Amino acid sequence: MIKVLKYLKKYWYIAALSPLFMILEVSMDLIQPDLMSKIVDQGVLGENMDLIFEFGIQMIIFTFIGCIGGILSGVFGNMAAQSFANDLRKDAFSKVMKMSFQQTDKFTTGSLVTRLTNDITACQDFVGMALRMMVRTTMQFVGGIYMVLNIDARFGLILLVTLPVQLIIVAVVLKKGAPLFGVVQSKLDRVNSVVQENVSGARVVKAYTREQYEIDRFGTANDELCNTNLRVQKLMALLVPVLSILMNASVLAVIYLGGLQVQAQELEVGRIMAAITYITQILMSVMMIGMMFQQVTRASASAKRIREVLDADPVIGSGSFDGNTEIKGTVEFRNISFRYPGVQANNVLEDISFTVNKGETVAILGATGCGKTSLVNLIARFYDATEGQVLVDGVDVKEYDLDALRKKIGFVLQKSELFSDTIENNIRWGNPDATDEEVREAAMIAQADGFIQGFTDGYKDIVTEKGSSLSGGQKQRLSIARAIVKKPEILIFDDSMSALDLTTDAKLQRALRENLGDTTVIMIAQRVASVMGADKIAVIENGRLAAFDNHENLMKSCDVYQDIYNSQMREGDEKVG
């Protein structure tokens, strides 16, 4: 909680104004009953119209001042709370951006969304309320007691009985309720996860007609959230009626005690009226304190969850090397072994070594699940190797500043991700400074220009969310154009041509060779036809490097490669024939 509240420090001057104005408002509130009693005792009972008028005017002025205080207190309190939450959200978001794949997997997307929205809002509400209510309740409580005792010390007796009872009730309810707030938030995580999965996976759900199954799954999560919330609310609902009974009993006691004194002519009626108001204010303030504690416990449950995000140091730490190397465009794997963090299974990659020289095109070929994606992910440090080293331009990737390293690399991921923006901007995403010419050129190399021209708005055509308005192959080619426009030293294609027909694939390969000059290309593929023209082919089998050579030599020496070649080529023949 404290660490999260530190974000308020920057706005302390605004935050401080809120309680100051609140003091003004409460002071005015505290004066009112006293004035009221004077009007009754001296004005009404003393039959003095001028006095009623005079005190009446005073009451109106004080109310007005109090009102202004209240408004300003609210304005500044909210200003501070909003700025506080804004900063907090920004920081938490940039933490999420820096998280490695492994960390986002662990938090789950749903939970991260809840933490950045709902949890931060809970803290924001708390700050806004605390700034005003903390002062209000304390002043009402202390000031009220002072005023009541001032009227007649005997009224103190009533407080002596009711206050402890009230405190005990509030304490018991809160003690039971506090642990439930954390549970509510985690149930909300679950609801968010299911919604998020289903909204983004709507197509799959429909294709398998699993709507009912998913609706049920959502129902379960939703019911759990509802039930936990109800449990909290039931507890809290107890507070108000019980405290009201206590309060009304106290008022009765004041009237009874006061009545006796009025009969004995020791106290005026107006003073008793004032005492009733003060006692109500005191007991109300205790109730408010209870509410505030409820908010505190709730906010601290949320604060804890936000802190977990803020404290999540990137597992993949950035080095300091600025990436300024003499040689450019080489990648070397040195005795690489790799296992996914937190997974107990065997190594996914085992003792892999090979070098990709500047300007070469190296293909990585292997059966599905053999570890190709895992291998290239190590180059951009999406994960770190368990053993061994990956060197880019002769320098261990761990020594690079992450941005500098990733600047050298253009990565086309296995799963194309596009954004809801124009085609042009989607391509330019790879390099914000690219001119229209460069965007066009990249699209031409990626064999995308043709189909883009076919769209009504051409390059200005809008891609729908996640690229759902495009075919699989179109998405792949846009992703390729996006990587090319970046003009990196090293281009990595992770199975990026799988959705292209053989003709387009061949055209793309030729265009890459002709236009990319000395850009190093690492290309994962399943099809021998796509890799035959590469300078070298790394054949991966069950996480091990089976061979590393060019097509001709592999055909002579590598059984695995021959097998793949024969099976695919024969298949192709059959299809043709």
Ligand X SMILES: Nc1ncnc2c1ncn2[C@@H]1O[C@H](COP(=O)(O)OP(=O)(O)OP(=O)(O)O)[C@@H](O)[C@H]1O
Residue ranges in contact with Mg ion by CB under 5 A? 373, 414
Which DSSP symbol is given to 461? Answer: P
Supply the minimum distance, in Å, between the C-beta of residue 193 and Mg ion: 25
| Subset of residues 491 to 530 that bind ligand X, contact rule: CB under 6 A | 495
Q: Which of 343, 432, 514, 574 binds ligand X (CB under 6 A)?
A: 343
Residue in the structure block whose two tokens are 């090319």: 484
- Our finding on whether 187 is near ligand X (CB under 6 A) is no
Question: C-beta of 339: minimal distance to ligand X in Å?
Answer: 9
Question: What is the rounded CA–CA span in Å between residue 252 and residue 37?
Answer: 18
What type of residue is 493? F
Q: Does 348 bind ligand X (CB under 6 A)?
A: yes
Chain position carrying tokens 């281009």: 491
CA distance 418 to 425: 10
Stretches 128-136, 190-198, 263-271, 368-376: which one binds ligand X (CB under 6 A)? Answer: 368-376
Nearer to ligand X, 129 or 363 (CB): 363
Q: In what order do the strands lie in the sheet with 490-494?
A: 409-412, 490-494, 520-525, 361-366, 536-541, 544-549
Total residues binding ligand X (CB under 6 A): 13
Distance of alpha carbon 434 from alpha carbon 485, whole angstroms: 7
* Interaction residues for ligand X, span 398-417 (CB under 6 A): 414
In whole angstroms, the minimum distance from the beta carbon of 242 to ligand X comes to 53
**3-class secondary-structure state, position 388:** strand
Q: In this structure, what DSSP letter does residue 9 have?
A: G
- Specify the residue, 128 or 371, whose C-beta has the smaller distance to ligand X: 371
Structure tokens at 471: 């075919």
**Neighbour count for residue 240 (Cβ, 10 Å):** 12
Query: Which of ligand X, Mg ion, none does residue 340 bind (CB under 5 to 8 Å by kind)?
Result: ligand X
382 binds ligand X (CB under 6 A): no
CB of 371 to ligand X, least distance (A): 4
Q: Which does 458 bind (CB under 5 to 8 A by kind): ligand X, Mg ion, none?
A: none
Is residue 374 part of the contact set for ligand X (CB under 6 A)? yes
Provide the token pair at 370. 């053999």
Nearer to ligand X, 215 or 413 (CB): 413
575/566 Cα distance (integer angstroms): 14
User: What does 472 interact with, of Mg ion, ligand X, none (CB < 5 to 8 A by kind)?
Assistant: none
451 belongs to the binding site for ligand X (CB under 6 A): no
DSSP 46-61: TT-HHHHHHHHHHHHH
Binder to ligand X among 18, 103, 373, 509 (CB under 6 A)? 373
Of 193 and 530, the one with the shorter C-beta distance to Mg ion is 530
Stretch that binds ligand X, among 197-205, 256-264, 318-326, 367-375 (CB under 6 A): 367-375
What is d(CA 512, CA 490) in angstroms, rounded to the nearest whole number?
13
368 touching ligand X, by CB under 6 A = yes
User: Helix, strand, or coil here: 99?
Assistant: coil
Q: How far is the CB of 175 from ligand X (least distance, A)?
A: 42
User: CB count, 10 Å around CB of 237?
Assistant: 12
Asked whether position 539 contacts ligand X by CB under 6 A, the answer is: no
* Least Å from the CB of residue 203 to Mg ion: 21
Backbone angles phi and psi of 443, in degrees to 5? -65, -35
- By the rule CB under 6 A, 119 interacts with ligand X: no
Q: Report the candidate in 513, 440, 501, 435 with the shortest Cα–Cα distance to residue 474.
A: 501
Q: How do beta strands 349-356 and 331-338 pair?
A: antiparallel
- Quote the least distance from Cβ 382 to ligand X, whole Å: 9
Judged by CB, which is closer to Mg ion: 297, or 373? 373
Residue with tokens 């190590």: 378
Q: Does 371 bind ligand X (CB under 6 A)?
A: yes
Contact call for residue 164 and ligand X (CB under 6 A): no
Q: Does 137 help bind ligand X (rule: CB under 6 A)?
A: no
Is residue 347 close enough to count as binding ligand X by CB under 6 A? no
Task: Give the three-state DSSP class for 329.
Answer: coil
Using alpha carbons, list the distances in angstroms from residue 120 to 68, 86, 117, 194, 299.
29, 9, 6, 21, 9
Residues at the site binding ligand X, with contacts judged by CB under 6 A:
340, 343, 348, 366, 368-374, 414, 495
